[in-house]
Structure 1
Amino acid sequence: MFLNVAERGRMPAGVRALVAEVMRREEYEGPHEVAEEFEEAAGAEVYGRLGGLVGMPADGLVLVADADAAFATLVGRLGLGRGDRVWTTPFESVGRLSVLTAACARSRARLETVPLRADGDLDLEWMAARLDEDVALVSVAHVPMGCGIVQPVEAVGLLLAGHRCLYAVDGAQSVGQLPVDGRAMGFDVLTGDGWRFLRGPLGVGFAALSPRARALLATPAPASAMGGWAASTGVSGGVGSAGVLGPEPQLAAVVGLNAALTDQDGIGAVDGAGLWPLLRAAVGQVPGVELIAPGRVQCGIVTFHHPRLPAALIRRELAARGVAAWKTVAQQMPLYLPQRGVTTAVRASVDADHTPHDLARLTQALEDVIRTATPRTAPPARTPALAAAAPAMAGPAGAASDLPAATRPAAGRRHLTLLPSLTSA
């Protein structure tokens, strides 16, 4: 039973066969010849379907090979300067946080973390009280990679409307799982991957850009300067076809995504079967298991840990019982997990193909693991956070706080963990 959609969705058999066939034909017939045949699927069709899925016009969409790289390119075009402020949240992924940290270090801008309320939701009142024209960029993960909270991206968009700041939403874990309405969210850029809840092939993602974000990017290069299949087909694909947002995805990946989106039309992005609360209940009822579920709104992802059993052990034992889950580590969400004493955790995620019976099997398997696995005699020693040799982020009263720093693993730990001393801005 596959419960790891948040890492990589289950590509339909027909999509997988199509991707393999396109790759085979490119090898024997040549990429340009094959591209001509799939011009419509890799152009108007895929952009139209993506636009309908995220509520954005097709000419504002860009297909990319790496969504995080596209985000980094856009941040680099902002022209941040001394005195600018950049807002992130405690749920930012390590990849995007690295981009923001580097951009602020180069420009002497201040990176600030929006605090959470007692219930785990973003403190929108804090944002409203401190929002001014010095805030140049706000980055929010719709659904973080390390837990199942759904952040209030629409409310944030309303708050930021009319202000200078560029609003960037990470939709890697939400597009295909949740309803997404770009107009209601009011973002300037939404990035996402094609291989998670969209169930397409690896190596293809997208960026949805507002007119303001498109204007921030350079004018697209002419088709004669474009490489790969886009040059041969003449498919513009918005600004991304000029390579402005990084390398283009391969033709097979784009065709596969289009086929997966066709399949998505019949699935929908709403939890009509009521699986999401059942997923949390399936895990939360197991004795000794602690849920990592901040906030009032959750989705089809649940993260949990056990105080005496390593996440790697739980994941392996679940796999031995036919349940495929995922181990997440603190460094993947370094502003949230380490500060709550979480070093490793297990993440399970569902899509529309799962059933209540699947979740009953998860409960049974997890109960068996917890009952039979050999626990640690003592929790691993926690390594104190080290100050990074880099500019500091702004702290609560304008004081400096240390940036997240990588530390050596504690005894018995075999992965790198980021233990930040960062506090909220």
Structure 2
Amino acid sequence: MITPSADFSEQDIERLRADTPGTQNRIHFNNAGAALMPRPVIDAVIDYLRREGDIGGYETKAERAGHIEGVYDSVARLIGAGSDEIALAENATVAWQWAFYAQTFRPGDRILTTTAEYAANYLAYLQVAKRTGAVIDTIPDDEAGVLDPAALERMIDERVRLIAITWVPTNGGLINPAQAVGAIARRHGIPYLLDACQAVGQMPIDVQAIGCDMLTATGRKFLRAPRGTGFLYMRRDLIQRTEPAMIDLFGAEWSGPDRYILRPDARRFESWESDYAAREGLGVAIDYALELGLDRIATRNRYLSSRLREGLADIDGVKTFDLGRELASIVTFAIDGREANGVAALLASQGINVSVSVPSSTLMDSIKRGLPSLVRVSPHYYNTVEEIDRLLDIIRGLTRR
């Protein structure tokens, strides 16, 4: 029996699973890594590639121009932006780097970030600090381990050049207060870059309500899009005063021997060549999520992840490591006497996909809390209670040995 929850009926879940071929092969709890694509997404990518094989790559792009343009509209609807504020990227890291490396820093300028910042982002801060003399400052957390907006407010001075945070970190269920940060950034006129990689696709997002100037995300995680897809949102008035770190003939026009003109929209960050088949899949995945409803998806995810956390809490010898009051659908834990990689391998041998969160992925948080490598389980709305219970049964068995 498939257990329903919230607005998803038993029939809804059966239909969603029938629409997801991978559910017939594995129990997939690695949605924070790469979710299982639904059949319409798979079909869209394959159909595009077949058409390229039939008539040619340039010709297919011309034929599908309306579809490709529609992907920008889909991203815009997903996050409450204008399509001119969207640039499509091959992954979230590239999108984030477009935004970050377009900022200018001088000696003493401050970058404010989070304790649980993702490794790729922090490495970029370190590189820019080394090049420019900018300073990286970490915003303190409150007693629940969540970024403290009051502490952020106290840190603001004339040297703060950028606030850049990860909304939902890779190593647990923490949800940082993105909207509260946005209110502070707007009040002080400080650019605000939000990494929404683990948030997009598992909860509703409205960039106007959040107040971020820039937001980046991937397609492969909770959006259930193909790998090799991502996007950047940049607020319209910021685009006009932002020069990309690199440009090519897609993002700018060579208007004379010694001049160029940047595109007026966010696509000034893009380059000419891209994977259009994957982009078409991204658009279909977004439309799929929007049709289901992000509120419904978020409710279902909370239901499944809460059941998992409650089950793990009842098992002796298991400790969870998720921080915060409101938790995302990423659950991290450790089992006494067992290495996380060994647990993940054992689960894989029984047809269950999970991942391992290593300390270096969020080094500042790992040092602060003394974190080991952790088993990371990230259920999504197409998972079932029966799958959660199957995982819990195996974990109980591991603690008895």
Q: Secondary structure at the match of 1:346?
A: strand
Letter of the 1:299 counterpart: A
Where does residue 8 of structure 2 map in the other structure? none
Change (3 A) 1:354 1:303: same
Report matched runs for 1:48-63 at 5 Å. 48-63=73-88
Q: Secondary structure at the match of 1:353?
A: coil
Q: 1:180 aligns with which of 205, 209, 221?
A: 205
Letter in 2 for 1:354: N
TM-score relative to the length of structure 2: 0.85
Q: Distance in 2 between matches of 1:345 and 1:7?
A: 14
Conserved in 1, the CA contact under 8 Å of 2:84 and 2:236?
A: no
Please list every run of 5 or more consecutive structure 2 residues that lacks an aligned counterpart in the other structure.
Answer: 1-26, 254-262
- What is the aligned counterpart of 1:279 among 308, 312, 322? 308
1:113-152 map, 5 Å: 113-152=138-177
Number of residues of Structure 1 aligned to a counterpart in Structure 2: 360
- Maintained 8 Å contact 1:188/1:212: no
Share of identical aligned residues, percent?
28
Q: What SS does the aligned partner of 1:272 have?
A: helix
Q: Is the 8 A contact 1:63 1:248 kept in 2?
A: no
Question: In proportion to residue count, which structure has more helix?
Answer: 2
Q: Is the Cα–Cα contact under 8 Å of residues 70 and 246 in structure 1 kept in the other structure? A: no
CA distance in 2, matches of 1:316, 1:247: 41
3-state SS, counterpart of residue 333 of structure 1: helix
Letter in 1 for 2:334: H
AA at the equivalent of 2:128? A
AA partner of residue 64 (structure 1): A
Q: How does 1:407-422 map to 2 (within 5 A)?
A: none
How far off its partner does 1:67 sit? 2.2
- For 1:46 and 1:200, locate their aligned partners in 2 and report how far apart those are by CA, in whole Å: 12
1:97 equivalent to 2:126? Answer no
- Would the aligned equivalents of 2:113 and 2:163 in 1 still touch at CA under 8 Å? yes
Tell me, in whole angstroms, the C-alpha distance in 1 between the residues paired with 2:206 and 2:195.
Answer: 14
Change (3 A) 1:224 1:335: closer
Whether 1:39 aligns to 2:76 is no
For residues 9 and 238 of structure 1, do their structure 2 counterparts lie closer, same or farther at Cα, with a shift above 3 Å needed? Answer: farther
CA contact (8 A) 2:240 2:264 kept: no
* Aligned CA distance change for structure 1 residues 238 and 254 (closer, same or farther; 3 Å): farther
The TM-score with structure 1 as length reference comes to 0.80
Match of 1:347 in 2: 376
SS state at 1:149 partner: coil
Q: Deviations over 1:82-115 (max 9, x none)?
A: 1211011011100011111111111101101111
Q: Mapping of 1:63-212 within 5 angstroms?
A: 63-212=88-237
Report SS of the residue matched to 1:339.
helix
Q: Which amino acid aligns with 2:266?
A: V
For 1:10, which of 28, 31, 36 is the aligned residue?
Answer: 36
Does structure 2 retain, via aligned residues, the 8 Å contact 1:65–1:247? no
Closer/same/farther in 2, CA of residues 217 and 30 from structure 1, 3 Å limit: farther
Q: Is the 8 A contact 1:47 1:237 kept in 2?
A: no
1:264 aligns with 2:289: yes
Provide closer, same or farther for how the CA distance between residues 125 and 248 of structure 1 changes in structure 2, counting only shifts above 3 A: farther
Q: CA deviation at 1:357?
A: 2.0
CA distance in 1: counterparts of 2:157 and 2:236, whole angstroms: 22
- For 1:394, the equivalent position in structure 2 comes to none
CA spacing shift, 1:247–1:335, aligned 2, 3 Å:
farther
Contact 2:249 2:272 in 1 (8 A): no
SS of residue paired to 2:376 = strand
CA distance in 1, matches of 2:250, 2:325: 48
Q: Secondary structure at the match of 1:34?
A: helix
Provide the secondary structure at the position in 1 that maps to 2:108: coil
Q: What runs of 5+ residues in structure 1 fail to find an aligned partner?
A: 227-235, 373-425
**Structure 2 vs 1, CA of residues 95 and 224 (structure 1 numbering), >3 Å: closer, same or farther?**
closer
Deviations 1:134-162 (A, max 9, x none): 11111111111111111100011011113
Q: Which amino acid letter does the alignment assign opposite residue 77 of structure 1?
A: A
Secondary structure of the equivalent of 1:342? Answer: coil
In structure 1, distance between residues paired with 2:147 and 2:278? 36
- Cα 1:247/1:71, change in 2 over 3 Å: farther
The DSSP-based 3-state class of the residue aligned with 1:51 is helix
For the aligned residues, what is the CA RMSD? Answer: 2.1
For 1:74 and 1:223, locate their aligned partners in 2 and report how far apart those are by CA, in whole Å: 17
